[in-house]
Amino acid sequence: MSRKYSLDEKLAALRILDRHSGDLNVASRETGIPKRTLRAWRDRFGLNPAPVSQMLRLRQELIEQSRYLAASLGQGADATPLEKRATALNQMLDKILKLTEILQDEDHETDEALPVLRIEYLDEQGQVHSSPPGAEDDSEQ
């Protein structure tokens, strides 16, 4: 029967793996976690990942910045071209989704619930869409 590890345990094991310069044998002996498991975590999270609290804080900061950037899309006052702002927003949302996936790991238990992120698009008539206007979409009416 396989053991379930919390996200904090995974991240701590990866810090140990990093301390041993990625040597799976040494880290496995020190942690008691199979090399195969450590390798899978390393491939998913990388070596020396940030603690959960930092990931939560970063995710919240990205959400706040993306809200500001999204609000600026409808305003023409910014000197930055709309296309660049939209690309930056898309990249931020991608990072938020990746952090959310890591933080909502099936064995991660936290007292802090992650908020749901919902993206809506408005067309010129004010109708709400789940994808950008012009893309295939079922409008929410």
Q: Which domains does the chain have, with CATH numbers?
A: 1-49 (1.10.10)
- Strands 128-129 and 121-122 come out as antiparallel
Scanning 1-141, the segments in alpha helix (DSSP H) are 7-19, 24-31, 35-45, 52-73, 82-103
Q: Rounded to two decimals, what is the model's pTM?
A: 0.51
pLDDT per residue as tens, the chain (141 positions): 578 888 888 888 888 888 888 899 999 999 999 999 998 888 887 776 677 777 788 888 998 888 888 877 766 656 777 788 888 888 988 888 888 877 776 444 444 555 666 777 777 787 887 776 656 544 444
Give φ, ψ of 122 to 5 degrees.
-110, 135
Number of Cα atoms under 13 Å in the Cβ half of residue 20: 17
Chain CA centroid to CA 29, Å: 31
